[in-house]
Structure 1
Amino acid sequence: MSQYTNYLAFTREQWAALRNKTPLLLLEEELESIKGFNDKISLQEVEEIYLPLIRLIKMRIHASAHLQEMTDSFLNHTSSKKPYIIGLAGSVAAGKSTIARVLQTLLSRGEDHPKVQVVTTDGFLYAKETLEQKQLMSRKGFPESYDSKKLINFMRQVKSGEGSAEAPIYSHLTYDILPDQVDIIDQPDIVIVEGINVLQVDKSRHVFVSDFFDFSIFLDAEEHDLKRWYIDRFLLLQQTAFQNPLSHFHRYITLTQEEAIQKAAELWDTINAVNLKENILPTKRRANLILKKGEAHKIEKVLYKKF
């Protein structure tokens, strides 16, 4: 990783040593309940990777609050309370949702019990009907498939700290936005914004989602591992969620295992791999922290941006 000259690189062991005395406020059964479908994460990984990260984030939150106090004093101005916003990016099948929930749980159990909410940018995809009209169904997840204006306005409202903001809800079952259903983001202390697109830069706009972040994380892995995890997840879903007649992928339940593997590989190669190479990977070096997973879904390296 010599090309990452502006990052400090840590092995798993080196990073784990930075935990110091950060307590593990999470039980095995709780971890099982919050981890995503087919995601592999252990309490050992929480201790070695996420507790040092929690310590780092808390230090940055305290530093940010102190800087705001000093700035307000200098300007003779009282700012409204604003949430600390963490961006979490990475490919499909990398395990972002699990990490978001782990961070939410651990951060909310701090001494001052901050209110932590998670927002996924899936809710800001255009509705299926709109994507079909725009002939973008095969580009779902690409930058043009999101209502960027709506997402930016939402981020601006959340960052202002004034009032509550509404985030649309996306259903992975129906593969569509749930009409008339929203998550209320009501003046939290910390917001975790998770999505494949959160670090992307739209040259047609002057404001980006990442402009609202105080800290950003990129969950990285080799493409061949991501593809394998995607196929494994597809096979499991074929036997579970796809069985629901309401599932967008219900039509795949009759495929043999070999056919299902071929279909999943095709979906990966023609959609997800293209998006990964064109839009997601190029944003990696914009993150403050990169977590690199190995083939067993375990974090093997951590890179922290120096400047």
Structure 2
Amino acid sequence: MTSGPPDRTLRELAEDLAERRPSRPRVVAVGGGVAVGKSTVAAGLATALEAAGAGPVAVVATDGYLLPNAELAARGLTERKGFPESYDLPALRELLRDVRAGEGPLRAPVYEHRLQDRVPDAAIVVDRPATLVLEGLAALDERIADLVDVAVYVDAAEELAASWYLDRFRAWRIAAANDPGAFLHPLRDMPDADAEALAMRVWETVNLPNVRANVLPGRARADVVLVKDVGHALRIG
């Protein structure tokens, strides 16, 4: 696993984790709300762990365990995407159990944000890592908590997360404009104000209620809370 230079806070966390590396493979879960930068934190932590001698490290996103869009539609769960019932948690539990047992190589499903869907037949190979970094909205779900060795919660003020969410939407929409296969391609000709209003309705009616009800409780179970401030600066809370 490679990435850019990790944040100093992540280096310090990785060095601490490296000092108390267990005798068997472990799972480090990185959870938090929508758009707080869980993927970036997970990648940086993985790089820092390897640099601290705690590797090899694999990173898996819980997004890959979201049910495919077609299945969500068939179950009437399209508007509940990201809520606990929209994940294949039994399959995720199986992966975590096998990783901790030292089994492999294993395969984890892949989710592509360009498509906003799971990629058919695609997989990440997880081959007996010393540490698996699991990241995503469901990473601190209480139904997999018994299989997580270290729980990290990435926290940010709601207004900051909302602004980052909108920034991300704008970037994805620009990228989708000339990509007919992209999920946001149909919004290419919509006035910017209307498209952004649509995005914020999703934030207010789907993302924010889900985070408050199902993600935020994971903060109380976390071993480490990383607070993200203006400018994406991290500090231990």
Bin the TM-score by the shorter chain. over 0.9
Instruction: Describe how 1:216-235 pairs up with structure 2 within 5 A.
Output: 216-235=151-170
* Residue 148 (structure 1) aligns with: 89
Deviates more, 1:289-298 or 1:117-126: 289-298
Which residue pairs with 1:90 in the alignment? Answer: 32
What is the root-mean-square deviation in Å for CA atoms of aligned residues? 1.7
From 98, 102, 105, the counterpart of 1:164 = 105
Residue identity in the other structure for 1:92: V
Alignment-derived partner of residue 7 in structure 2: 46
* Distance across 2 between alignment mates of 1:236 and 1:281: 26
Task: Flag the 1:102–1:148 CA change in 2: closer, same or farther, 3 A.
Answer: same
Identify the match of residue 181 of structure 2 among 246, 250, 257.
Answer: 246
Query: Aligned partners of 1:282, 1:255: CA distance in 2, in Å?
Result: 37
Residue 159 of structure 1 deviates from its aligned partner by 1.3
SS at match of 2:200: helix
What is the deviation of 1:228? 1.0
Q: Does 1:295 align with 2:237?
A: no
1:135 deviation in Å?
0.9
Q: Measured at CA, do residues 222 and 263 of structure 1 come closer, stay the same or move farther in structure 2, by a change above 3 Å? A: same
- 2:17 counterpart of 1:57: yes
Give the partner amino acid of 2:160: D
Q: Which has the larger radius of gyration?
A: 1
Shift of 1:243: 3.4
Q: Which residue of 2 aligns with 1:134?
A: 75
- TM alignment of 1:244-283, pairs within 5 A: 244-283=179-218
Q: Contact 2:97/2:147 (CA < 8 Å) preserved in 1? A: yes
Structure 2 residue 122 is matched with structure 1 residue 187: no
- Deviation at residue 163 of structure 1 after TM alignment: 2.8
Aligned to 1:5: none
2:15·2:49 contact (CA, 8 Å) conserved in 1?
no
Distance in 2 between residues matched to 1:257 and 1:141, nearest whole Å? 25
Aligned to 1:168, what secondary structure does the other structure show? strand
Q: What are the ranges of 5 or more consecutive residues in structure 1 without an aligned counterpart?
A: 1-25, 32-42, 66-81, 202-207
Long gaps (5+) in structure 2: none
Shift of 1:296: 2.5
Q: CA deviation at 1:226?
A: 0.7
| TM-score (norm. length: structure 2) | 0.93
How far apart in 2 are the matches of 1:281 and 1:101? 22
User: 2:86 & 2:134 partners in 1: Cα distance?
Assistant: 18
Deviation sequence 1:175-205 (CA, Å, 0-9, x none): 221111111111111110111112122xxxx
Contact 1:117–1:192, Cα closer than 8 Å, also in 2: yes
- Aligned-pair distance for 1:281? 0.7
Shift of 1:291: 0.7
Moved over 6 A (4+): none
Among 208, 211, 219, the residue aligned to 1:284: 219
Mapped partners of 1:234, 1:162: distance in 2: 38
Contact 1:284–1:290 (8 Å) recurs in 2:
yes
TM-score of the aligned structures, taking structure 1 as reference length:
0.73
1:142–1:60 Cα change, 3 Å: same
* Matching residue of 1:119: 60
Identity among equivalent pairs (%): 33
Determine helix, strand or coil for the equivalent of 1:255: coil
Aligned residues: 236
**AA partner of residue 101 (structure 1):** A
